[in-house]
A = this chain, B = another copy of it.
Amino acid sequence: MGKLETSPKNGARKSAGWQAEKSTMMQVAILESAIDCFIDLGYSNTTTAKIAEYAKVSRGAMMHHFPSRLRVLQAAIEYLHKKRLQEYDTLMANIDAPDRALSRAVFYESVQMAWRYANLPSFTAYQEILAASRTDRELAEFMAPVERDFENQYREHAKSMFPHWSDLGEYLDLAIDVVVFTTQGMALSHMVQNKEARVDKMLNFITDQLQLIYGSAVSES
């Protein structure tokens, strides 16, 4: 019932790398299923059986490609990491800042994109892993470099987005922290009432703060 592809496509019959191609397709399906499981079931309820079920693959087949649960999860985490880096790039590339001017509109769009980023399914999946890593030493060690990577990307992107600002010292770091911590805090507050309205006000407020921080940086230079 619903295998991926049980025989070579007519067009690519007996193509050289058919086997390998199918294999990697299945692996990708498995990794994406694992991520979906993180989102739907939470990290600790993501069992090998569930992943296989989501991927429409027998558990045996999965265990053939990934010898243990830990391996699947680590591979899924790496896959998710790359995906998030890419999603971040895509979102930030969409910011409409033709003249590189540091106008309020640009700040606001940046903040909005950060907020959208924090609402992607990938973000939810990632937070599941991060939360689990608090009480899972092995997982925490695996996550440490991943986390560093993200922080680096934040900073690098901000620097290249606002080159003038980045020359003004450490204030840019504060601005990044304001955006990151706030959006994360909001994203993780699942159960607050009136969320949309409050978030909207917060986003506008943060934008004002960015202008203010930038202003301080400029005036001190």
Quick one: which of A16-49 are within 8 Å of B by CB? 40-42, 44-45
Q: What is the interface size of chain A, counting residues whose CB is below 8 A from a CB of the partner?
A: 45
The proximity string for A residues 130-168 relative to B, scoring 1 for CB distances below 8 Å and 0 otherwise, is 111111100010011001100100000000000000000
Q: Which of A127, A147, A174, A182 gathers the greatest number of chain B CB atoms within 10 Å? A: A182
- The answer on a CB contact under 8 Å between A188 and B188 is yes
- The CA-CA distance from A189 to B130 in the complex, in Å, is 9
- The CA-CA distance from A214 to B130 in the complex, in Å, is 36
A181-B182, A202-B181 are known contacts. Are A41 and B193 too (CB-CB below 8 A)?
no
Q: Is the CB of A180 closer than 8 A to any CB of chain B?
A: yes
Name the B residues within 8 Å of A201 (CB-CB).
Answer: 174, 177
- The answer on a CB contact under 8 Å between A181 and B190 is no
Q: Is the CB of A1 closer than 8 A to any CB of chain B?
A: no
- The answer on a CB contact under 8 Å between A42 and B42 is no
- The answer on a CB contact under 8 Å between A144 and B191 is yes
A44-B44, A180-B185, A201-B177 are known contacts. Are A190 and B151 too (CB-CB below 8 A)?
no
Return the chain B residue nearest A185 by Cβ. B185
Min CB distance A90 to B, Å, is: 23
Q: Is the CB of A184 closer than 8 A to any CB of chain B?
A: yes
Return the chain B residue nearest A209 by Cβ. B209
Min CB distance A28 to B, Å, is: 24
- The answer on a CB contact under 8 Å between B209 and A45 is no
- The CA-CA distance from A186 to B174 in the complex, in Å, is 13
- The answer on a CB contact under 8 Å between B185 and A147 is no
- The answer on a CB contact under 8 Å between A191 and B147 is yes
Q: Is the CB of A183 closer than 8 A to any CB of chain B?
A: yes
- The answer on a CB contact under 8 Å between A186 and B191 is no
Q: Which of A184, A185, A198 gathers the greatest number of chain B CB atoms within 10 Å? A: A185
- The CA-CA distance from A144 to B128 in the complex, in Å, is 20
- The answer on a CB contact under 8 Å between B202 and A135 is no
Known contacts A42-B134, A181-B181, A205-B209; can you find 7 more A-B pairs with CB under 8 A?
Answer: A124-B134, A131-B131, A147-B191, A177-B202, A178-B202, A181-B202, A183-B185
Interchain Cβ contacts under 8 Å between A and B, 25 examples? A42-B131, A42-B134, A42-B135, A44-B45, A45-B135, A131-B131, A133-B191, A143-B191, A144-B191, A147-B191, A147-B192, A148-B193, A174-B201, A174-B202, A177-B198, A177-B202, A178-B205, A181-B181, A181-B185, A181-B186, A184-B185, A184-B188, A205-B209, A205-B213, A209-B209
